[in-house]
Structure 1
Amino acid sequence: MVLGSGAPRRRWLLGLVVLAVIGLLGAGAVAVGRAVSDRGADRGRAPVATASGPATPTPAPGPTTPTGPPPGADITGPLNLLLVGVDTRVSAPGWEPHADAVLVLHVPRGLDRAYLFSLPRDLLVDIPAFPRAGYAGGRTKLTHAMSYGSRVPGKPKEPSAAQGYDLLRSTVSGYTGLRIDAGAVLTFAGFDKLVDSLGGVDIYVDQKVTSLHRRPDGKHRDPAPGGYTGPQMVYEKGQRHLNGWQALDYARQRYIDGGDYARQRHQQQLVRALVRKILDENLARQPERVQQVVDALGDTLVYAGGPRIVDIAYALGGLPADRLVLVGLPGSGVGRGTAYRGEQLKAVGREFLTELRAGRADAYLAAHPELRIRS
């Protein structure tokens, strides 16, 4: 597969939503990717990603007649996108980013449907050696691949999220057996602006969720020894319209019934709700509307290397929202004696990955409907 020619940045909206919705922690963003031609030539090799400054918006083109094929016209799939939300804790100098949300979007050949699934942040995996960060490799939680890979020898207070992504990408690829074609490492400063720029989002809250972090007026709760204090925002079960900070806050909560697996489900539901709104209102093909969203995000998006997101976004612009299938992979805790070591996927989840690689995901989901997340 070869990526097509570029197009103005004003058409990035669909790609930004799919990528930015899961950037659920922190401030700033780094998107990283890899060329997706010669699919078998460099399997397993880490992509080159170098942090860059804030992207400069491309000026809107004049009233000229377009020539040649549209952007992304030669992208036929399959595509695998790795979407990572990181906890950067920018207030703590030298804090290594942790992968707090890890999602994979698989788009089969033909680009007529897509599957979105999450991997638990505490999934017990084999992390390969990573000489650039001085990491010897080991078996530990998936979230640590980002932090271990972000270490820059000689610069302990300057961790690199782009470098951390490289190790996380290799780890996820090794676990799932999927080649990762492109991805994003995102934090959530600007996420609420994104949702607000779209006029909020409509989502079905599938269980009562009490916020650990926010008050009903949106202000942050006060930290204190033993936990936060003050009144709490509550999201009652039912159809709700959420503004930016509410959508972000709702999707972050994991101390709820179902724990981190419920949080994964809520993040995926939020992705689909935003994509549905964009497609239903044809926003991805309204240049001035998209420019408003891009301007609102400002310098919270920093891109580095790899294929142009604009081409992927435009190629997926015709994907119906109801063909974006949310998949929940159940898991359970792994321990040694009384010590908790992490999570493991249950057999039905591991088998889904096998069937996905073989192009038999629909048949497998029909036989295991409990894996489909409804919204």
Structure 2
Amino acid sequence: MIWLLDKYSPYSARNNPDAYPYPCREFTLKESFWFALTSFTPQGGGEAPKALSGRTLVAAYWLFVVLMLATFTANLAAFLTVERMQTPVSSLEQLARQSRINYTVVEGSSVHQYFINMKFAEDTLYRVWKEITLNATSDQAQYRVWDYPIREQYGHILLAINASDPVPDAKTGFQQVNEHTDADFAFIHDSAEIKYEVTRNCNLTEVGEVFAEQPYAIAVQQGSRLQEDLSRALLELQKERFLEQLASKYWNESARQACPDADESEGITLESLGGVFIATLFGLGLAMITLAWEVFYYKRKQKNKVQILNSKPELAFESKSTLETKVAESVAKLRRRGKALKKGNVVKSVTFGDTFKPVNEKGVSVISVFPKDYMP
């Protein structure tokens, strides 16, 4: 487009060399591509076009380049900053080591009892290790281990749960997580119910993997005939993939695609940059309008110039007549002055003509002066 505007604009350095007597950059097709490429660098594209239409296009293109570079730089900086600041929790060990995220469980639930049992197991192991280490004799050097070999994490988790107060039911736990918009609260609960709740609420997310996994079971009386019937029925349901259909119905992850922030991690998209391209297209349209105005103005100016040149002979004729009248009047004045001098016995010779003719040393010489375009 720069090459096209520079080629057809009557006010470019190529088409108007009289206005630019010094050497100017000629925007050929190759030079225009080089100008567009170097505009992305801090060095700049160099000398810009001389015509107003070309400069309008270049201004719009430079605005596009600045916005694109600024957007890319800001997006890259934000991406690197978020990657460095985020510390995702993906296991119970990471949850126990951090202190920013508070968490809780349902009071009296199987999950709560699991942490209580694990805390009791840790205390029991610690007490046994302490007794073995302190009571070891000189013949039992293998038991003299002064560093406790087991990491105490369940005790810290249970203390954090008690500090956050266990909730009475699962609904309250999910509600507390939903109310903390800064992602500083977690709810530890049954994985099946968490997956179901996550598919229904866009503000919730599942973090980490399943721990302390235990299968569901149906209890019947020992030796009951219902045990065999229930086992066969469950096998038939698995064979018909009925359980998988239930899982896909109630734990459908595709339902989260309707969430407004589902594509938040994609960064900059073409939709978000639509305004930049619209501004560039607007600048291109303005440049084409400016080119049309330049051509129209140039042709109109040339037309007026031709009309002025055609009217010059009449003006010259009128000037010639006026000049002849003035010359005749001047000649008459000189003759009257000569007669007056002659009466006063002062004789002076006067010469009239188109060239310089000196009369004598005491005489008067006359030079006839006419305009440049005057033709006698």
Normalization by structure 2: what TM-score? 0.20
Bigger relative contact order, structure 1 or 2 (CA pairs below 8 A, ≥6 apart):
1
Whichever of the two has the greater Rg, that structure is 2
**Which protein has the bigger helix share?**
2
Normalization by structure 1: what TM-score? 0.20
**Which protein has the bigger strand share?**
1
